[in-house]
């Protein structure tokens, strides 16, 4: 008995010796496991927080749905886009956010696991609609089929794209010629109107400089001023005389504007140009009608008086003399009455051509009206020079004129000559004195000339000036 007790006591002693270290070991292990668990949980919480922050920082709406459409999570951007709070979105069907006509498309995309982008119409909490670009990814989470979807509001972008398409169509169909160049002047775009006007296709124009259109008759100063304005960042307006691909010339009214980047630097230029050839020709014709006689092409009364005024001013400044000849046809009424107005017009045109051939380039011949013509001999070295011109005119106008019906007839002329400054010191006075001298010729037998101060037909004053 004693030996059993002793053995038992010895065994207890040995167990006490082992138990304490074993207890310490178990406690240490439990502590290590607890520390690992707490560390892992903290890491998991941090990871979840990172992913949540990442989702919240996204500019796209993110929605997580399960089992075909029930929303189980979303980010703040999804709430902003839909108008529902995050709490209102939870447990709501994904299809509540989608216009009914797109439900089938979305259902098919989820069922097929389609992960490419596609567009649908979304429905906000207030019932309004907006364009959405959707992408999604389907995955399994335990027993659930999950769908992570990103939603991007593309309403504004599509509106801008539609506006750009309208602008592009407007440019393409514009009747105005439109050219876009880079900063160095190389052509980057031309519209069809440019090609129709110039004969250059877009492929031929790209990379070229607009100087391919230069007619070459506008001074370099014109282009230097143009570039100075553009490089200041200002709009330039003006007219170009240009040349088509086939060499024919045309006029354009152009408006050229620089295009600036966000830094205010010029990156390109856009030119909008209108063909004004017909308008310019019309303006020239109107100016011709306003200043020239439509029948003969000679300066009309208005223009002749303007040139007479200029000649007087120059003569006063330079102290030079000049002569004014007043020519009235003799027998013109007979031509008109006998052969008709067409024959009268033929006579007037023939007389105009012969008068122009009798004077110098520096002189001026004009038609005052009816059968009256006036001539400015811009400088006189001798009085007899005016008489020689008058003799030349009398001889030229005495030659037969072929009328429209093939017949020939003749007219005469009476010429009065007035000299500045002896006979008058202004245009009106010169016209009056030359007219007076012409009527004195008429009264003395016609078909001759005389100076106002001599009052004797065919008497030429031999006086050197």
Q: What is the pLDDT of residues 93-147, one digit of tens each?
A: 889 999 999 999 988 888 888 888 999 999 999 999 999 999 988 888 878 888 8
Please give the residue that has the higher pLDDT: either 113 or 357.
Answer: 357
- 297-315 mean pLDDT: 94
Asked whether 191 and 206 are in contact (CB, 8 A), the reply is: no
In the predicted model, what is the mean pLDDT of residues 390-419? 93
**pLDDT at residue number 459:** 39
Residue 19 is predicted with a pLDDT of 61
- What residue spans define the domains of the chain? 57-157, 174-280, 292-451
pLDDT for 146 equals 85
Of the spans 71-80, 202-211, 285-294, which averages the highest pLDDT?
A: 202-211
pLDDT tens figures, 161-180 = 889 899 888 889 899 999 99
**For the packed helices 427-443 and 301-318, what is the interaxial angle rounded to 10 degrees?**
110
Average pLDDT, the chain: 86
Residue 397, token pair as written in the block: 């106008």
State yes or no: pLDDT of 223 exceeds 70: yes
CATH of domain 292-451: 3.30.70.270
Task: Work out whether strand 144-153 and strand 129-141 pair parallel, antiparallel, or are unpaired.
Answer: antiparallel
The confidence band for 18, taking pLDDT boundaries of 50, 70 and 90, is low
- Which of 207, 170, 212, 214 minimizes the C-alpha distance to 192? 170
46 band by pLDDT with thresholds 50, 70 and 90: low
Q: What is the pLDDT of residue 78?
A: 87
Question: pLDDT value at position 379?
Answer: 86
Cis peptide bond upstream of 184, omega within 30 = no
> Above 90 in pLDDT, residue 212?
yes
Give residue-wise pLDDT tens across range 419-464: 999 999 999 999 999 999 999 999 988 999 999 987 644 433 333 3
Question: Of residues 371, 405, 409, 428, which has the active-site annotation?
Answer: 371
* Residue 380, SS3 per DSSP: coil
Phi-psi map region of 193: left, alpha, beta (phi>0 left; psi -120 to 50 alpha): alpha
pLDDT of residue 456: 47
pLDDT at 21 (0 to 100): 67
The yes-or-no verdict on residue 279 having pLDDT over 50 is yes
Q: What integer is the mean pLDDT of 342-363? A: 94
Q: Please tell me what DSSP assigns to residue 420.
A: E
9-13, 218-222, 352-356, 387-391: the lowest-pLDDT one: 9-13
Distances from the Cα of 98 to the Cαs of 70, 93, 111, in angstroms?
A: 13, 10, 16
pLDDT score at 396:
95
| 284 part of the active site | no
Instruction: List the Cα angle 421/427/430 in 5-degree steps.
Output: 60
pLDDT band at 17 (very low <50, low <70, confident <90, very high): low
Spatial strand order of the sheet with 70-74 comes to 70-74, 61-66, 144-153, 129-141, 118-123
Does the fold of domain 292-451 match that of domain 57-157?
no
Looking at the domain covering 174-280, what would its CATH class be? Answer: alpha beta
Structure tokens at 209: 């400089």
Superfamily name with CATH number, domain 57-157: PAS domain (3.30.450.20)
From first CA to last CA, the distance across the chain in angstroms is 180
């Amino acid at each position: 008995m004693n030996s059993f007790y002793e053995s038992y006591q010895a065994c207890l002693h040995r167990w006490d010796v082992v138990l304490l270290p074993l207890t310490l070991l178990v406690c240490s292990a439990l502590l290590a496991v607890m520390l690992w668990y707490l560390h892992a949980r903290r890491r998991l919480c941090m990871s979840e927080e990172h992913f949540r922050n990442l989702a919240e920082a996204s500019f796209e709406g993110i929605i997580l749905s399960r089992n075909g459409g029930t929303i189980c999570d979303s980010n703040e951007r999804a709430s902003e886009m839909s108008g529902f709070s995050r709490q209102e979105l939870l447990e709501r069907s994904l299809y509540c956010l989608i216009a009914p006509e797109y439900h089938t498309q979305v259902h098919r995309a989820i069922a097929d696991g389609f992960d490419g982008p596609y567009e649908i119409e979304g429905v906000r909490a207030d019932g309004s609609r907006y364009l959405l670009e959707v992408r999604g990814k389907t995955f399994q989470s335990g027993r659930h089929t999950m769908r992570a979807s990103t939603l991007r509001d593309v309403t504004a972008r599509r509106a801008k794209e539609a506006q750009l398409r309208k602008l592009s169509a407007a440019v393409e169909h514009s009747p105005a010629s439109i050219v876009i160049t880079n900063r160095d002047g190389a052509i980057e775009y031309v519209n069809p109107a440019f090609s129709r006007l110039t004969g250059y296709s877009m492929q031929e124009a790209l990379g070229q400089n607009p100087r391919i259109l230069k007619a070459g008759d506008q001074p370099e100063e014109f282009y230097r001023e143009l570039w100075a304005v553009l490089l200041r960042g200002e709009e330039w307006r003006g007219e170009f005389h240009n040349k088509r691909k086939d060499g024919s010339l045309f006029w354009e009214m152009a408006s050229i504007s620089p295009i600036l980047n966000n830094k205010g630097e010029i990156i390109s230029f856009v030119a909008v140009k209108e063909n004004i050839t017909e308008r310019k020709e019309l303006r020239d014709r109107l100016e011709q009608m306003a200043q020239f006689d439509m029948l003969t092409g000679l300066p009309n009364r208005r223009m002749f008086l303007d040139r007479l005024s200029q000649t007087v001013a120059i003569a006063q400044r330079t102290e030079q003399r000049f002569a004014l000849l007043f020519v009235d046809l003799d027998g013109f009424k007979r031509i008109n009455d006998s052969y008709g107005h067409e024959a009268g017009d033929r006579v007037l045109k023939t007389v105009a051509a012969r008068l122009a051939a009798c004077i110098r380039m520096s002189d001026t011949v004009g038609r005052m009206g009816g059968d009256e013509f006036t001539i400015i001999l811009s400088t006189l070295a001798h009085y007899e020079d005016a008489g020689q011109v008058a003799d030349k005119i009398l001889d030229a106008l005495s030659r037969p004129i072929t009328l429209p019906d093939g017949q020939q007839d003749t007219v005469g002329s009476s010429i009065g000559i007035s000299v500045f400054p002896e006979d008058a010191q202004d245009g009106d006075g010169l016209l009056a004195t030359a007219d007076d001298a012409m009527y004195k010729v008429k009264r003395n037998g016609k078909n001759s000339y005389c100076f106002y101060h001599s009052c004797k037909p065919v008497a030429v004053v031999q006086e050197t000036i």
